[in-house]
Each structure stands twice: as C-alpha cells, then as structure tokens.
Structure 1
Amino acid sequence: MPPHSRPAPRRLLAVTATATLIASLAACSGAGGSGSSGGHSINVLMVNNPQMVELQKLTADHFTKDTGIKVNFTVLPENDVRDKISQDFANQAGQYDVATLSNYEIPIYAKNGWLHSMDSYVKQDTAFDQQDILKPMRQALTAADGKLYGEPFYGESSFLMYRKDVFRKKGLTMPAKPTWQQVANLAAKVDGAEPGMKGICLRGLPGWGEMLAPLTTVANTFGGTWFDKDWKAQLDAPAFKKAAQFYVDLVRKHGEAGAPQSGFAECLNNMTQGKTAMWYDATSGAGSLEASGSPVKGKMGYVPAPVEKTDSSGWLYTWAWGIQKASKNAGDAWKFISWASGKDYEKLVGDKAGWANVPAGKRSSTYDIPEYRKEAAAFADVTRSAIAGAKPNDPGVQPRPAPGIQFVDIPEFTDLGTKVSQELSSAVAGRQSVDSALKKSQRLAEAVGKKYEGS
C-alpha cells in the first residue's frame, strides 16, 4: 500500500517491531524442513496455506530442474511462521533467503532495513512484467523510500458470498451492491431456511487478522476509524461503537454456532457444509467453494463487500515474497520469486491442480486466461473489482494517520488488535457488553496513539 502517509516517529525502533510483530494473523497447520544456504541453494520460509503447499510440490520438477537452484522449504502455520520470520529477519541472521510476508509487514520491515530492494531485478527481468501486477498490490509492497520490497504470490480483497439456491427458494434477491442493513435483513430471513442453517457467518475468533479484519471494514464503512489523523484513538466514538454493536448483534442473532471460536477456516467449513446461507470474508475463499468436489460448487453467488457510508469497503491483503537483506543468495532468491509469482507458474497450477486453485488476485493477465475465466467465472470479475477498488490510504470517511484497510500499518497493531479482538470476541460470547469491550479497548488504543502524537 502507498506508505507515504505513514509517519515515522523518532521513538519507534526496530526492536519495537521485532517484539510486536511476533503475533498471529490466522491459524493453519503443516510442517516442513530447511537446509543449508550457499551455492545454488536457497532457504525459503513460508506459511502452510494450500497454495504454498502446492508450490512446494511443484518446485523440484519445474524450477530446480530448469535452473539448478535447490529450494529448501520450511513450511509452518501462520502463528509460527510469523514468529520465526520476525526473529530471523530482525536479527539479520541470514538463515532464510526468502520468506512469505504480507502487505502489513513489508513496509515495516523495509523501514527497519531488513529487506532487499527488488527494483534492480524487476528492471532486468522484463519477462516478469511488473506492470501486469495489479496496481494496489504494487503500491502495497512499495515502502516509504519509493522502493519495491515484495512480489505478491496471491492477493485478496473481501466480498459477500451467498447461496443462490437458498435465496431462490425463499423468494429473496441479493442486491448487486448491498448495504449492511440489507444484509442483516436478509440474514434474518434465511436463518433456518434449511435444517441447521444460520443466516450468516462472520468471524468471531480473536486475532488482529481474524475477527478484526472483517469488523474493521464494517467500522470503516459505518464512518468509524481506529485513530483520527492526529492519532487520537476513536474506538469509543459513536461511529465505531455503532459498527461494533451492529457486527456483534448480527453474529449473535443470526450467525454461526460457536461464533467466538470461528475464524476463516471455520466459516469456510460452515459454508461448504451448508450450515450458513451467507459469508462475508476473503475473496480467496471462493476458490475452495468452487473447487471440484465442493458440495456447494455452482450454488454460490458473489457480490461486493457491503457498504453504508462509503462506495466500497473491501480489504486488501497479499501473501508476498520478501528477500532478507542479509541473504548471500539474493540473485537466486529473485529467480525463485520471479518463477513463483510469474505468469507461467499460474498456467502450471492450472494444468496440474485445476484453474480454481490458481494463486490469483495479483496479475491483470490472469483474468484474461480463458481456462481461468471459465473455471472461476462465478467470482473472478467480482474479485478483480474488489482488489482494484481497495483504497488502503483512504478506506473510510475521514483522513487516516497510517495506511491500511483492515489493519493500521504500525508495528504495535499486532498486539493492540489482538487485545481489542479478545474484548470484542468476549462480547460475541455474551460475557460483556460492546460498550464495556470498547471502553477497555479505547484505553489500549490511547496508549498506542500517544506514542505517535506530534510525529
């Protein structure tokens, strides 16, 4: 995301980022191993999301065979991988040449001098075609110094997914561009449409990248913000309070069973198993819903993220590749990244694993591939529009002191966001009121804001 609006307070040291970045976004599971770096060998530390696991399977036969560069993978769940990456990169230990980083970490890591700029490689590697990378992604991975520090492996925004067949049976029509109030009304009408089916799935699992990702987009479009332009915390302001109350009420009245323990993975399972009629979440979820063997394949509809006071409210997120500044194999690291984020890799996945599994959301040309358009017809254009319409510097109704749609791009947000999400998840569980949760959250946000005031 364009980082020029993010202030750089003098008190913010690299060590702060190290401590606060050891946090979780969401949880998955898996394992891997690493080898020694040197010569034509690189070490890659990556999250164990399905797309990365597929990459690991394809690398030896389709990258190493062509280049002679052996890739030693360490593949870990998100919580663990973020911990390991932050430690290795902060210390510039150089154990890993490449790591999966998001558009949250990359501007912070770049500012701390932990990453290798990619501009010279992009300039020389004309076949990579940097201009084909979607503009919001290019901007999100460019740091305050104007240099590029990451290449996206796949990208996502957020949208509303719903069961077309269930809506048809109930005589309901999903608006082409729904408001949140319309969604709440529809959730009430489809709740119980089939045995055991709830109206909507919304994340209630604590985590700065779990519950708070969708909830913050709701706050943005309701007119709320975490901080005003002067870093004054706004979590107990009327607009943020209204958004949080709406979200908690909706999930408590018409949301999934076990909502306080439900994150992306749980909502995906609920939707696939027919336990919910709607789901507001990451656009990347559509590939799983439309995959061969999915019980709901062909039954789903997709519309833009619901709005209230803004034109759009979808988030922006990418899992991207970063090269450690201390790497002694930066050239080989770039070759791997150029292959993994290149056009030919997408075609390889389409041929080997099916076009719905292509790591999309990063390249304009992906949406012109006939096979991809056919397989992803239900969601491709809505996804592309959501990513293209994302506004990381201007996601709400007022000026922001730092970029970010579903997060605030400062190192402290991992800790702050997680603590606030714990309070709001407690409200979803009925253990406290939204007012009580936000009163505590406001105090936490004020402490962070004070560090930045006047910077």
Structure 2
Amino acid sequence: MTFLARALMGATALTLVAGPALAEKLTIATVNNGDMIRMQKLTDDFTAKNPDIELEWVTLEENVLRQRVTQDIAAKGGQFDVMTIGTYEVPIWGAQDWLVSLNDLPADYDVDDLLPAIRSGLTVDGNLYAAPFYGESSMVMYRKDLMEKAGLTMPEAPTWDFIKEAAAAMTDKDNEVYGICLRGKAGWGENMAFLTAMGNSFGARWFDEEWKPQFDSQAWSDTLTFYLDLMNSYGPPGASSNGFNENLSLFQTGKCGMWIDATVAASFVTNPTDSQVADKVGFALAPDKGLGKRGNWLWAWSLAIPAGSDSVDAAKKFVAWATSKDYTALVASKEGWANVPPGTRTSLYENAEYAKVPFAKMTIDSINAADPKSPTVDPVPYTGVQFVAIPEFAGIATQVGQEFSAALAGQQSAADALAKAQSLTADEMEAAGY
C-alpha cells in the first residue's frame, strides 16, 4: 500500500460543508489539533457569508500533514487551496515563490494588530505569506494539588533541577500518576521540537558557526542524558510513542504531574468538559539551566495559499475569516474567552475579558521570551528556536528524532544515539553543500 493510501485510510477525516450548486470548492489541509477541529465546527458562519464557496477538509495527524503538504507543494500537485503550515515552512516556501502573498488582505483585517514576533516569522522580503491561526510558545503545566501534596511550590521560572525534583516527588506509579510527561514520538516537529528547545537551555546547538554538527558536544550529551533519565524514572510507559495529543490525553485524565509543551494546550487542560483536572492546573515558564536561555519555543500554525491554487480569491476570503478578530469574537461567544485561538494578536492581550483567563499572561510572556534570531547560548549561523530554518532540517531532524526516540524506548544508549545523529547530520549537510 502506498504512503498516500495509508495516510488517507489511517489519518484523514474528510468532511464537506455543503454549498449551492456550482459553488467554488476550497480544499483545506489542516492538523487534527483541538483549535482546528473547533474551526471546522464553526464554518457555518463562513458559508453563510459566502454561499458561493464550498469547503472540503482534509484533517491529518501532525507528522502526516507535514509530509502531505510538503510533497504536494514541492511537486506543484495542486491538491489543496489552503494549507495549515508552520513558522518553519513559511519563510522557506515564501522565498521559493511557492506561496501566495497576503499583503492585499482587507483593511479591516488589521494586519498591524498581529504580534510582531509572530508576524515577522511569516514575512519574507516584506510579503506576508501566511496568516497565523494561533501562536504559541511552550511552558510548564502542572497539577497544583500534587505539587502541594509533595510539599513543593512551583516557581514562576523553574530550573530543570527543580523539575526533576518535583517529578520524583509527584510520581505514584501504583496509581498510574507519572511526575512528568514529555514528547517522545519521533518527528522534527514532535520530539525534536521539544529536545531542540530543551537543548538550547543546556547550551546545546545544532551547528557551530561553520555549520559543523554539534551532537558530539558535552551540552548535547547533558541534554539527552537528563531527558532520558527524567522520562525513564518518572515518565509514563510507552513514552516513545507519545506526541502532543497523546500527552494531552494523559494530562487531562490525571496521569501527569507536569507536562512541558505548547502554550496552546492550556485551554484544553483547563476545560472542564474535557479535562478531569481542569480546576487543579497551574502554569510556569519553561525551565532553564541558569545559562540565560529557557527551554521554550516559538511557533504559529498558520493558513497559507499554495501558488498552484485555482481559487486564490476564495481562499483569501477563508484565510481572512479564520484568522480575523471577528473569528476570535465568534469563538468567545460560543466557547468562552479561554478557548479562543491564542498568541496572534496584540488586541487579544489588551482585552480585559481575556486578561482574566488564568494562562493568558504566561502565554504572552513565553512567546515574548523566545528569540528566533538568538536562540542559543553560543553563536549559531541559523535562526529558529526549536528548528533550524534551512530546507534540509526537516529531513535531518526526522532521522535524528528517530534515533532519540529509539534511545527512549531502550533500544540504544544516549551515546549511541548521539553518535548516529552526529554522523547522519554531517553526511546530509555535506551532501547539501554546507
């Protein structure tokens, strides 16, 4: 069976929002995260305003989405009119003229309201190539009741050493409560997003200023060894298969004392409809090692229009609707302010109602603390916090992620995983001409 067939059978949820006869159809590829699922449920608002546009959704698991949209846009396949892509892809694809500029969105869209850190990551040579649906950093989400029971107090800005101490104190494996849940699933946007950001705080970096890989450094050894020890001692079983959604489920069902992941998860872990621990969750900045960098990333899931679309004008109408202030107000009216897509607009963080949301300030503080232009302790030739903004990164980091996930699964040592990471990265970078 082909990869495409497997992806379609195993990971695709395809839905149609009905329109009139002869309606223009938009095919939208998106990730199976909660905010995107909510967007699909609210599209009656869009189709009521645009009865001549019909929406077809292709909803995919994160790793599969990345593969599908990358294959399609590189081959100019034209399968999609709107793609959900991230801060990594936008500048690379925009520079290749693979995306449609969004500089002509309507004036009431108010592009100047977009948070500067998010907007700049989606802009190439003055052209906005994607509109942010939600922006995020990463932070610590923790059980306040378990922290209190352990006799500890979570600092607003914890260290990794405190996180390890707290994980040990909160672990109760007899009752299936694990002190820490972290990403272990292989993928450049899964375990490597977390480990790259974590590595930054340990003084690690992907490359030195001459583009030489640095997995043979002490800083990477310290990072991976600490991570493996933390997860093997206090993490859940089968963690090498856990990504964002798996850890979200574990946390919501009371099985995690702490979870360090995307700030966007805050609305899901505090929603009493979905979370058994909704009233027990606290938040803190991502940890550090005292070297001046925290282990938090910067990301936006954004909507972009591939240059091969035959429905650019209709696609722009949808992108403007889904990422507008009006959409934020729509979600607030239906689901409450805690559930609006976060991290994209200045006006949201100036809104008095949103300021009451318990994680609002921690989210914006985390976003503002991430610096893509200076992500590491020592100088590097690249930009990007949890990724390296070069085309080769996705392929290389996926391979490295497989080695690190294998180490978490107990299939090899940290030293062996790092040695393989060093070798394969060096080979790929040499082949790419660096």
The one-letter amino acid of 2:80's match is Y
Counterpart Cα distance in 2 of 1:29 and 1:210: 19
TM value normalised by structure 1: 0.87
Specify the SS of the correspondent of 1:242. Answer: helix
Match of 1:262 in 2: 242
8 A contact 2:200–2:293 mirrored in 1: no
Q: Does structure 1 residue 421 correspond to structure 2 residue 401?
A: yes
**Residue number in structure 2 paired with 1:205:** 185
Change (3 A) 1:87 1:445: closer
Q: Answer yes or no: is the 8 Å Cα contact 1:204–1:211 preserved in 2.
A: yes
| Separation of aligned partners in 2, 1:103 and 1:38 | 35
Q: TM-score, normalised by structure 2?
A: 0.91
Instruction: Note the alpha carbon deviations across 1:289-308, whole angstroms, 9 max, x for none.
Output: 01132211121110011011
Structure 1 position 343, deviation (Å): 0.5
AA aligned opposite 1:73 = E
> AA paired with 1:100?
T
Equivalent-residue separation in structure 2 for 1:350 and 1:266 (angstroms): 26
* 2:187/2:402 contact within 8 Å kept: yes
* CA 1:193–1:172: 2 relative to 1, 3 Å: farther
The CA distance in 1 between the partners of 2:12 and 2:336, in whole Å, is 23
2:81 alignment partner in structure 1: 97
1:146-295 superposed matches below 5 A: 146-192=126-172, 195-293=175-273, 294-295=275-276
Report SS of the residue matched to 1:271: helix
What does residue 112 of structure 2 align with? Answer: 131
SS in 1 for 2:287: coil
2:325 partner amino acid: K
1:108 aligns with 92
Change over 3 Å in CA distance of 1:28–1:347 after alignment to 2: farther
User: For residue 303 of structure 1, what is the aligned residue in structure 2?
Assistant: 284
Q: Is the 8 A contact 2:133 2:303 kept in 1?
A: yes
Q: Give the equivalent residue in structure 1 for 2:46.
A: 63
Give the Cα separation in 2 of the matches to 1:326 and 1:387: 33
1:88 aligns to 2:88 (yes or no): no
Write out per-residue CA displacement over residues 378-413 of structure 1, whole angstroms, 9 at most, x where no aligned residue: 211101111122111211112222221111122222
Instruction: Report if the CA contact (8 A) 2:198-2:294 is conserved.
Output: no
Alignment partner of 1:352 is 2:334: yes
What is the rounded CA distance, in whole Å, between the counterparts of 1:54 and 1:419 in structure 2?
A: 33
In the superposition, relative to structure 1, how do residues 421 and 394 fare at CA in structure 2: closer, same or farther (>3 Å)?
A: same
Q: Deviations over 1:211-270 (max 9, x none)?
A: 111111111111110111211000111111111111111111111222122221221122
How many Å separate the matches in 1 of 2:11 and 2:296? 23
Name the residue aligned to 2:414. Answer: 434
For CA contacts below 8 A with separation 6 or more, give which structure has more relative contact order. Answer: 1
Tell me how far apart the structure 2 counterparts of residues 128 and 258 of structure 1 sit (CA, whole Å): 45
Shift of 1:193: 8.8
| CA positional deviation for 1:205 | 1.6
Q: Distance in 1 between matches of 2:47 and 2:100?
A: 23
Q: What does the per-residue CA deviation read over 1:114-155, in whole Å, with 9 as the maximum and x for residues that have no partner?
A: 111112x14xx2211112111111111112x33211110011
How do residues 354-433 of structure 1 correspond to structure 2 at under 5 angstroms?
A: 354-374=336-356, 377-433=357-413
SS in 2 for 1:275: coil
Contact 1:141–1:149, Cα closer than 8 Å, also in 2: yes
The answer to which of 44-53 and 233-242 deviates more is 44-53
Q: For residue 175 of structure 2, give the secondary structure of its aligned residue in structure 1.
A: coil
Alpha-carbon distance in structure 2 between the residues aligned to 1:134 and 1:439 = 40
The number of equivalent residue pairs is 422
Are the equivalent residues in 2 in contact too, given 1:191–1:198 (CA < 8 A)? yes
How far off its partner does 1:364 sit? 1.6
Gaps of 5+ in 2: 1-6
How many Å separate the matches in 2 of 1:240 and 1:319?
28
Partner of 1:53: 37
Write the distance in 2 (CA, Å) between the matches of 1:412 and 1:230: 16
Distance, in Å, in 1 between the alignment partners of 2:158 and 2:174 is 23
SS in 2 for 1:419: helix
Q: What's the CA shift for 1:188?
A: 1.5
Q: Check whether the contact 1:96–1:324 (CA below 8 A) recurs between aligned residues.
A: yes
Q: RMSD across aligned C-alpha pairs, in angstroms?
A: 2.4
Q: Deviations over 1:352-378 (max 9, x none)?
A: 23333211111121223344333xx22
Which residue is 1:330 aligned to?
Answer: 312
Separation in structure 2 between the aligned mates of residue 433 and residue 38 of structure 1, nearest angstrom: 59
Contact (CA 8 Å) 1:132, 1:365: kept in 2 or not? yes
Separation of aligned partners in 1, 2:363 and 2:49 = 33
CA contact (8 A) 1:43 1:73 kept: yes
- Distance between the aligned counterparts of 2:17 and 2:50, measured in 1? 19
Q: Is the contact between residue 286 and residue 379 of structure 1 (CA under 8 Å) also seen in structure 2?
A: yes
Deviation at 1:286, TM superposition (A): 1.0
